[in-house]
Structure 1
Amino acid sequence: MQTLQQPELLLFDLGGVIIEVDTTGLRALGEKGKSDIDLWETWLTCEAVQLYESGKISEADFAEGVLKAFSSPMPADEFLRSFSAWPTGLYDGAADLLRLLRKHYKLAYLSNSNSLHYPRFQNEWHIDTFFDYHFASFKMGYVKPHADIFQAVLEVLPFEASQIFFVDDNRLNVDMARSLGMRAEIVRGVAELHEVLQRHKILQNAGTHG
């Protein structure tokens, strides 16, 4: 069996992979009985979310659109306070894992983010210090899972799609990355990230890569 070439760059989603997200607020919006996975797919494909996380509408319009999409009676100011607090910090072990990987691979993140969460990523967790390249949707004008944002990343990175290994906690994003030629896997949390990197021999090869 042919051995796959090891990637040159590891591309990470942040929320749900590197940064832990409290889904209590999301569950409060959605129908009872729906799984977190179903709720996240509804969230990801919500027009107001896509517009806000591509930097195209205000926080007020974002809140109004989300509450309408989820048929939620929650007041807009309550939703925005809750939403601001969804990210809770780096998963245990995430920082050490990124430091190890960065010794042997180039690292980048591609995050659907926004003007409420991104300052916390920088000020509380100094997220950029762990990565060589930084891609935040609201600064780019595009959002995952659309092809535009992946193509914009590929235009900047000095690597071909086939040299990139992408991890994300959402199936739609992983499917799009694969369709553009990246190797990609669904990962939820650092424990799953470890398992996936070991399965693809990325962790084992970290000591000898480059």
Structure 2
Amino acid sequence: MIKTIIFDFGNVFINLDIEGFTQNAFKHFKIDELSEEMMAFNSFYEQGLISTDEFLEFYTENFPKLSEEDLIGIWNFMLKDFPKHRLDFIKDLKQTSKYKLILLSNTNELHIEWIKKNVSFYEEFKNCFDAFYLSHDIHLRKPNRDIFEFVLNKNNLNAEDCLFVDDNKDNIKSANALHINTWHINPETEDITTLFKVKSHLF
């Protein structure tokens, strides 16, 4: 019996264009792939282990032809729309008081600042959750096992009583390893609003 639902943010509530982001970044950086150093800095930033200033400084040093404004635009390119029907879904779910609702997202400071400015109902959305964890705030990131253990321990949860929804296969694997129920949502063909239809056997 599910008592707690843990939601990812990107491609579950807010739409992302990860492929478009990658191609746009490669075009502006004039590269074919991200270097190990770039991937490491991106990971550090996502975990809040370096500041936004340090993150931008790294990229301006490596790509001096691009301004900070250019870099922020490239970094935020993946963020798209947040359909209102998904807000309505989580608000209705909150009102039932049937489940503990948790958001668990790999989200960095630049992305959340963009979302706050461009999603008019962000605070309304955030207030639907009993706990709201962003990777850069808690210095942990998916798919590492410790972020799931953190959520379970912090909220005194039994893994078997939880359902975790995410679009990333590696994140799903980590949750499954801890015996958390999962829904590997496909953002191209599925929508979070069909949760109780798709996973009816769990409820």
Give SS of 1:51's match: helix
Structure-to-structure mapping, 1:1-210, within 5 angstroms: 6-23=1-18, 24-30=20-26, 46-59=39-52, 61-63=54-56, 75=66, 77=68, 78-102=70-94, 103=96, 104-122=98-116, 124=119, 125-126=122-123, 127-189=125-187, 191-201=190-200
Question: What SS is found at the alignment partner of 2:109?
Answer: coil
Alpha-carbon shift at residue 155 of structure 1 (Å): 1.4
**Cα pair distance change 1:120/1:201, threshold 3 Å:** same
What is the identity, as a one-letter code, of the residue corresponding to 1:106? K
Matches of 1:65 and 1:170 in 2, distance apart?
27
C-alpha deviation, 1:160, in angstroms: 0.9
- 139-148 or 116-125: which moved more? 116-125
Residues of 2 paired with 1:84 and 1:22: CA distance?
Answer: 10
Flag the structure with higher helix content: 2
CA distance in 1, matches of 2:148, 2:4: 14
- CA distance in structure 2 between the partners assigned to 1:191 and 1:48 by the alignment: 32
Aligned partners of 2:86 and 2:193 also within 8 Å: no
Whole-angstrom distance in 1 between the partners of 2:148 and 2:16: 23
Output the CA distance in 2 between the equivalents of 1:74 and 1:20: 30
TM-score computed with the length of structure 2 as normaliser: 0.76
- Letter aligned with residue 80 of structure 2: T
Aligned residues: 187
Aligned-residue RMSD, C-alpha: 3.2
Cα 1:107–1:202, aligned 2, differ >3 Å: closer, same or farther? Answer: farther
Moved more, 18-27 or 138-147: 18-27
Q: 1:202 to 1:51 in 2, by over 3 A?
A: farther
Identical pairs, percent: 24
Q: Which residue of 2 aligns with 1:208?
A: none
State the Cα distance separating 1:100 from its structure 2 match. Answer: 2.4
- 1:177–1:74 Cα change, 3 Å: farther
- 1:49–1:66 contact (8 Å) kept in structure 2: no
